[in-house]
Structure 1
Amino acid sequence: MRIPRVIAVANQKGGTGKTLTAFELAMAFIARGLRVRLVDADPQSAALTAWLVACFPEGRRWTLTDVLMERCSLADATYPTAYVGLFMVVSAPDLGEVENSIEKPPGVESLLQYHLASEKDFDVTIIDSGPSLALPTVAALVAAHEVVVPVQAASGLDVKGAASLKTTIKKIQSRLNPELRIAATVLTDFEKSTLARTIGARMVKAFPGSLVVPARQSVRVGEAQLAMKPLRVFAPGTTTTLDYDLAAAVLLGQRVPPQRTAT
């Protein structure tokens, strides 16, 4: 993976583990010495902004809405967090209103791409997309080089969401972003089962050439969310953390060492 890189985490269905995947991939990249920015492109109140707290200076707090409405640049809306090397662009409930605003600028779906094309401050920008094909999701896919698709390993419905996403990506590739590719599928809440193997096989068939990485189930994920901390900080060494380390390594094209015994 060349640097700088933009990764969209997307699936056209809610509850697939998009926010967890975006956050834990970011932390795994930071552990490898990279400088990472997370962009919350999901207007839902339970999204990334509620989990990861940005460190705002005194004065105006710019959000992704302000970027898309051209009230500020992406750099203006990027704030540090409590974790060294991790920065964030926050979301707000009014993000969902940008699409129908009569004041939205022309070509708004390409604004993130425009800002990111001229920036060199971050090694990786990860965009956490919403579950619907709304304007923020389209803007994320137009801006991205790669897509990571989280799919619950115990939910056949998530496969349908991924199939819808594949259709969307083909349209964006042909019209707005020919460089876009599906880099990986992350099988979230993974437990060994016939269903999980079937879903993994379908993802391989649907997205040939992409990676399929299982992220094992852990009760510590919910605990980390309640504590408003990344899993690798709240419960280092869990199986899920090790799995996201693996995902980050393979996305970077690095040699993957044998995994440690998880606690």
Structure 2
Amino acid sequence: MRETQGETVQVPPLSDDLAFLDIVTEWDVDSTFHEWRAGIVVPATFLPGSLPRVIAICNQKGGAGKTTTALEFAMALVARGLRVRIIDADPQEASLSVWLRYFYPEGVEPADRKNLMHLYFDQSVTLQEITYATPFEGLYFVPSFPDLDDVETKHPTGTETELQFHLSKADDGIDVNIIDCGPKLGPLTVSALVAAHDVVIPVQGASGLDVRGAAALNRTITSVQGRLNTELRVAAVVLTDFEKSTLSRQIGGRLAKAYPNAVILPARTSVRIGEAQLAKQPLRIFAPGATTVLDYDRGASILFGNGVAA
């Protein structure tokens, strides 16, 4: 694992006087729509995770905001002084590895680098070998490419526990590993769930179909909990592209009921997300004052509590 690129940038913390959402203990379903204000739900039963930690970002439906969630949580944690590794477990062309190709040193072609696929098919490859430094101090990256889909189709021996094994053996000082899963509930996603302590489920704040996708994911989570990872928990549900509407209020209420011990985090919509993707930059760097950035920053502090500095 390369410790740094030629130059690194320190990710600064956000100011305390920005327009953060309020923190509440229950999703409001009683007040009139005019009076209703969405807040971040932190149930009284919720306990922040300790370090080191592995988080899987999952939803079987594409376009739910998994990649944005993975990257913005990572940037928020890095700004708090943690060492974070993002593992791109999505073989799609529109995955995190495409968004952030500028992470690779100048003159190096991404296809020439070992990536996550090699971890499943080559027993001699270690997680450190496929972990690369980024331009941001404390942020590391494991890339993927479309050939990672071979893990889904060929299902090499030991797939379900491969990532868990390598993460348990990695002695590289990483505080938080964030796994960005693809839109399939196949071997790759199961491998991520087996390796994880926490699941974070992004659901579009205005999509009833995403709620159905989360329900299907919950069946997979229950299966993994029963057979391979009894400690796995759903730590948070992120309502992505969130805007105040009757539908978003209903969706938030349903998810709060379905996951009573999880944080419900509205991540307010921003047109700057697409602009950041075109610019191949994290949103926190491209538009640090965007409401989406504020929501993920506050969510990161809640999920880890005293495990991270203010």
Same fold per superposition (TM over 0.5)? yes
Paired residue for 1:156?
208
Could you tell me the TM-score, scaled by structure 1's length?
0.93
Paired residue for 1:75?
128
Q: Secondary structure at the match of 1:83?
A: coil
**Matched ranges for 1:63-102 at <5 A:** 63-71=115-123, 72-101=125-154
Verify: 1:111 aligned to 2:166, yes or no.
no
Paired residue for 2:277?
225
Give distance in 1, aligned partners of 2:199 and 2:307. 21
**Matched ranges for 1:24-63 at <5 A:** 24-53=72-101, 54-55=103-104, 61-63=113-115
- Rg: which structure is higher? 2
Give distance in 1, aligned partners of 2:198 and 2:234. 6
Q: Secondary structure at the match of 1:242?
A: helix
* Equivalent pairs, count: 256
Relative contact order (alpha carbons < 8 A, sep ≥ 6): 1 or 2 greater? Answer: 2
Per-residue deviation, residues 160-206 of structure 1 (Å, max 9, x unmatched): 00000111000000011111100000000001111111111111111
For the Cα contact (< 8 Å) 2:60–2:184, is it kept in 1?
yes
Q: Secondary structure at the match of 2:305?
A: coil
Per-residue deviation, residues 112-145 of structure 1 (Å, max 9, x unmatched): 0001112242000000000111221111111110
Paired residue for 1:259?
none
Q: Secondary structure at the match of 2:224?
A: helix
Alpha-carbon distance, 1:100 to partner: 2.8
Paired residue for 2:238?
186
Verify: 1:241 aligned to 2:293, yes or no.
yes
Per-residue deviation, residues 188-246 of structure 1 (Å, max 9, x unmatched): 00011111111111111111200001000100000000000000100111111000001
| CA 1:146–1:153: 2 relative to 1, 3 Å | same
Give distance in 2, aligned partners of 1:251 and 1:203. 17
Percent sequence identity is 57
For the Cα contact (< 8 Å) 2:83–2:175, is it kept in 1?
yes
Give distance in 2, aligned partners of 1:131 and 1:40. 12
RMSD: 2.0
Which ranges in structure 2 are unaligned for 5 or more consecutive residues?
A: 1-48
Q: Secondary structure at the match of 1:250?
A: helix
Give distance in 1, aligned partners of 2:122 and 2:231. 25
Paired residue for 2:227?
175
Give distance in 2, aligned partners of 1:140 and 1:170. 14
Alpha-carbon distance, 1:254 to partner: 4.4
Q: Secondary structure at the match of 1:252?
A: helix
Give distance in 1, aligned partners of 2:253 and 2:306. 24
Structure 1 runs (4+) deviating above 4 angstroms are 56-60
Per-residue deviation, residues 20-60 of structure 1 (Å, max 9, x unmatched): 00000000000110000000000001010011233359695
